[in-house]
Amino acid sequence: MLVDDKVKKLAFLGLDNAGKTSIITAITKKFGYEEEIFKLMPTRKIARDAFRFLGIEFVRMDFGGQLQYREEYLKHPTKYISGTDLIYYVIDAQNSERFVETVDYLDQILLFLKEEREYPPICIIFHKFDPQIRNEKEINQRILTIKQALTRYSHDFDIFFFETTIYDIKSVMDAFSSGLSLLFEKMEMVSHLFAEMSKNYNTLMIALFDAKGITIGEYYKPHLHLQEKIRIYDKYLETQRRIIDQNRRMFEFSDKFDNGQRYSGLVELLNFGNLDFYLLFIIEEDKEDLASTIKILDKIEAAKPQMENMILQLIQ
C-alpha cells in the first residue's frame, strides 16, 4: 500500500503565528481524541505527536516558526528537515506584509531538499482564509501571485494549494486529508467508487471517514454550495458523536438547508478489527415521495459489501 511500512513523518512548517499549532489542535481536538504527545522538545520547539491512519503510524511535527528556530533548522537541515514524507507549509493569508519572508523561508527549505534529492509532496496552506475575507479581491490576488511564484518549484516537487480557516473545520480536514492521501496510492479509488455509486441515486454527498475524521474518499454533487457542504459536515460531526456516545452502529437524520431544500442523511459505523470507519450518505428529499428516500437508503445498505471490500484493500 505504501512505499514502505516505517513510521511516516509529517512536518508542519511556516513562520511563527501562521496558525500551524491551531490547525493541528483543531484536527486532534475536534474529534475528542486525546492524542499521545509522546515527546516534547521545548528547546528546539518541535512538538511531536503520533497517530495512526489506515494502520500506519504517523509522526506529526510542529516546527516552531520563530526566527531563532528557523535559523537553527536551516543551519542543520539534515538533522531537522531530512526524511520528511510530507510537508504542510502554512502561510497566514491575512498577513501580506510577511509574504516575502514566508516565501523566502519556503525557498530555503525547498532548495535544501532539492540538494538532498528528497522530494516529499508539499501542501501549501493559505490559512486564516476566514469567511469574511473569502471574497476580498486584493487578498485573492496576492495569494494567486504567490502561487504563480511557487510554480517554479513544480518541476521538482508535487505542490498542492489549499485555503483553510479555523472557522471551517472542513477546510482544515480537507487539506490535511488530501495531503495524507498522497501517501496512499489506493485512496483515490474510494472517491471513484462513490462517484459511480452517486449516479444510481439522487446523491448530494457520499463520504468515508476514519474515526479521527480524516477523509478517505468523498463525492459531492458538483453544484453543492460551500455553505451546504459545511452544514452537512457539521451535521456529520454531531451524528458521529452520537453514534459513539450511544454505542450505535447507525444513525439516520433529516435536515434542511437555508434555502428550504430538505435532505436525508445516514451515518454508519463500519469496523475492521480495531479500526473504525464512518460512511456518510446524503440524498435530497423528495417532498412528494418520502417512500423513495427510504428506498434509496435501503439500497445503500445493499452496497455495503462492496464498500467493505474496498476498505479491506486499503488496510491490508
Ligand X SMILES: Nc1nc2c(ncn2[C@@H]2O[C@H](COP(=O)(O)OP(=O)(O)O)[C@@H](O)[C@H]2O)c(=O)[nH]1
Chain residues binding ligand X by CB under 6 A are 14, 16-22, 65, 90, 127-128, 130, 165-166
If you ran DSSP here, which 8-state letter would residue 224 be given? -
- Please say which residue, 68 or 246, places its beta carbon nearer to ligand X: 68
Pick what 202 binds: ligand X, Mg ion, none; C-beta below 5 to 8 Å, kind-dependent: none
Provide the H-helix boundaries in the chain. Answer: 20-29, 67-75, 77-80, 99-116, 137-150, 169-181, 188-200, 226-245, 290-302, 304-315
Does position 95 interact with Mg ion (CB under 5 A)? The reply is no
If you ran DSSP here, which 8-state letter would residue 249 be given? S
- Please say which residue, 128 or 212, places its beta carbon nearer to ligand X: 128
- Please say which residue, 20 or 229, places its beta carbon nearer to ligand X: 20
Pick what 10 binds: ligand X, Mg ion, none; C-beta below 5 to 8 Å, kind-dependent: none
- Please say which residue, 21 or 178, places its beta carbon nearer to ligand X: 21
Q: Hey, how many other C-beta atoms are within 10 angstroms of the C-beta on 191?
A: 19
Pick what 140 binds: Mg ion, ligand X, none; C-beta below 5 to 8 Å, kind-dependent: none
- Please say which residue, 98 or 114, places its beta carbon nearer to ligand X: 98
What sign does the dihedral 253-216-222-24 (CA atoms) show? Answer: positive
Contact 187, 216 (CB under 8 A): yes
Q: How far is the CB of 292 from ligand X (least distance, A)?
A: 41
Does position 21 interact with Mg ion (CB under 5 A)? The reply is yes
Residue 239 Rama label (left phi>0; alpha psi -120 to 50; beta): alpha
Q: 86-92 and 8-14: which strand pairing?
A: parallel
Does position 25 interact with Mg ion (CB under 5 A)? The reply is no
Q: How far is the CB of 129 from ligand X (least distance, A)?
A: 7
Sheet holding 250-256, edge to edge: 215-220, 203-210, 275-284, 262-272, 250-256
Q: How far is the CB of 41 from Mg ion (least distance, A)?
A: 13
- Please say which residue, 44 or 134, places its beta carbon nearer to Mg ion: 44
Contact 146, 99 (CB under 8 A): yes
| Angle formed by the axes of helices 304-315 and 188-200, nearest 10° | 170
Q: How far is the CB of 12 from ligand X (least distance, A)?
A: 8
Q: How far is the CB of 89 from ligand X (least distance, A)?
A: 11
Grid cell for residue 8: 511516516
What sign does the dihedral 213-215-219-224 (CA atoms) show? Answer: positive
Pick what 265 binds: ligand X, Mg ion, none; C-beta below 5 to 8 Å, kind-dependent: none
Opening angle at CA 271, ends 175 and 26, nearest 5: 30
- Please say which residue, 37 or 250, places its beta carbon nearer to ligand X: 37
Pick what 8 binds: Mg ion, ligand X, none; C-beta below 5 to 8 Å, kind-dependent: none
Q: How far is the CB of 5 from ligand X (least distance, A)?
A: 30
Q: How far is the CB of 9 from ligand X (least distance, A)?
A: 18
Pick what 60 binds: ligand X, Mg ion, none; C-beta below 5 to 8 Å, kind-dependent: none
Q: Which residues bind Mg ion (CB under 5 A)?
A: 21
